[in-house]
Amino acid sequence: MYRVLLVDDEPLITIGLQALLDWEDYGFEIVTTAESGEEALAYLKENPIDILITDILMGEMSGLDLIKEVKKVQPKVKSIVLTGYMEFSYIKQGLLLGIENYLVKPVDEEELLTTIQNIGRKLKVMMGSNQEQESSTLMDNTLWRFLNGEIDKNDCLERLSLYNIQFNQPFYNVSILNFENYHKPEISKEIRKFIEEHYSAVCLYSPNQDILIIFGSTDEKELFHFNEGLVQDLKGELGNAGLFYLSMGKPVKMVEELEDSFAVARDYSLLQLFSEPNVLISERLTIDKHEELKKQQEMKENIVKMLLKADKETLKLVDSYVQELTRKSTFTSPQAVKKYTFDLISYIHYSLKPDDLSYYTASVEKIVYSTDINQMRAILKEYCREIIFSIHNQVNLRSPIVQNVLDYIHVHYDQGISLKTLGQQFHVNAIYLGQLFQKEVGVVFSEYLNRYRLEKAKELLKTTHYRAGEIGKKVGYSDTTYFYKQFRKTVGATPSEWRKI
């Protein structure tokens, strides 16, 4: 739990903030509240905190004075200021103190939640480091939220005006720099400073401490030259970055489209698993990822098959899956590894559909806050151990006939299976088999088979170029129209829409 201190000379404000969020659900604990800067400072001198949320204008000690004093006793504390209106003269002073964000009263719930979650990710990444607060923190948070579609253009530009930053170039693109030594603050600051001094660019740190670069130029070709030039600089003058991948989002003409450029850059950054390091990943780089994705899919299917048998050898397969993520390079960004870790754990969950969701939700939360590949490997293996234990207990309680039926479905789901054919296969009355299946599995046979086929269809939509109708037939639907109907009913989108998403 990250410890939060709320300070405002109006008690109703701190009461309201406490009620605004279910703080503990998000990993935060409000340790106390204070009605003045002096009261807050007295508490801080005796008790450690992680986040300070304070009003700007209070009695004798203002919120900014409080932040200055806090930096002397607890320099790693992250600060958010509350303002009754747009007090820009005060906010500009706050920039120099490295405030994370300013929130206008009445505080917007979504903006508060986003701000503290970003701070939580930063604290996790920086834990154990001596990284100092940057005077550009508010700018970074503003740009990060704009690139993620959380604030509009006018709000973004208004906040950036505090730094005298304007977007007036004809073309832009967003690039993501993942580099081996991202956890070393002095190297990260040197790289950022170099880019902003040598290129027409604005940089920001993501909550995971990657460097995001917004390049501006008079034409698209020059944007490519900037990105290619930075690759050469990272190989030469900026060699202390270590191994790296620079992922270039598509060029755009309007500031409003920077979000789209960033989305493309994020997609490209995931391709680092299939490429040698120290390259520019863009539309000009040819990477055949289909064989790699096919191999990953086979490994995921094998892991699920072994889990169904409650086989402890599954853990070795998990090790192999994680090793594949770093086969091309000793460095892969934590964010890329995290994505493929999510892929595996979600595939297991939706393939097995365990009754107890607690293992899955707990593992997902741990992955969100994990910072390196070894942590993610440990989370995956612990999740699989829990699944093995759960399945082992289920198998012991489940009748042999139902277990045989489940094993048969998982292999022959693409064929014409029915209770009648299964009754003939296993020499049991079809009506009795249906009743027994529902009692022990928790859903009727037809629903279980339908769900299983649709999960297999999703995997083919993600990893192949087959048309949706072909995929329906490959997973056992002889009637294409029925497949479309079931997919839309269960998933909430057509197969083509889901593939785009």
Output phi, psi for 10, to 5 deg: -110, 105
Segment 296-315 shows an average pLDDT of 85
Q: Which of 105-119, 445-459, 484-498 has the lowest mean pLDDT?
A: 484-498
Residue 364 has what DSSP assignment?
Answer: H
Assess whether pLDDT exceeds 60 at residue 11.
yes
* DSSP strand pairing (211-217 vs 78-83): unpaired
| DSSP H or E segment with residue 319 | helix 314-325
Taking the C-alpha atoms of residue 347 and residue 455, their distance in angstroms, rounded to an integer, is 8
Cα angle, residue 134 at apex, residues 111 and 215 outer, rounded to 5° = 80
The pLDDT confidence band at residue 496, using thresholds 50, 70 and 90, is: confident
H-type alpha helices, 78-219: 88-96, 109-126, 137-147, 153-160, 185-198
H-helix segments, 148-248: 153-160, 185-198, 220-235
Residue 2, pLDDT above cutoff 70:
yes
What is the pTM assigned to this prediction?
0.62
Which pLDDT does position 129 carry in this prediction? 46
Amino acid at 213: I
- β-bridge partners, 191: none
pLDDT for residue 227 is more than 90? yes
Cα 116–122–124 angle (5° rounding)?
105
Q: What is the pLDDT of residue 93?
A: 67
Residue 433 CA, chain-centre distance (Å), reads: 43
Distance in angstroms (rounded) separating the CA atoms of residues 230 and 246: 9
CB-based contact 49:40 (threshold 8 Å):
no
Segment (H or E) for 214: strand 211-217
Nearest C-alpha neighbor of 212 from the set 164, 272, 141, 274: 141
Taking residues 410-415, report their average pLDDT.
Answer: 89
**Per-residue pLDDT reduced to its tens digit, 418-434:** 899 888 888 888 888 88
Of the listed ranges 195-209, 347-361, 445-459, the least confidently predicted one is 347-361
| Cα 98-104-105 angle, rounded to 5 deg | 135
The token duo for 348 is: 């297991």
| Distance from C-alpha of 375 to C-alpha of 336, rounded to nearest angstrom | 14
The confidence score (pLDDT) of residue 460 equals 86
Cα 223 from Cα 251, distance rounded (Å): 7
Instruction: Give 130's pLDDT tier (boundaries 50, 70, 90).
Output: very low
39-53 CB burial, b ≥16 within 10 A, e <16: bbbebbeeeebbbbb
Amino acid at 80: I
Q: What is the mean pLDDT of the chain?
A: 85
Q: Residues 174-195: pLDDT tens digits?
A: 999 999 998 888 999 999 999 9
Portion of the chain with pLDDT greater than 70, in percent: 93
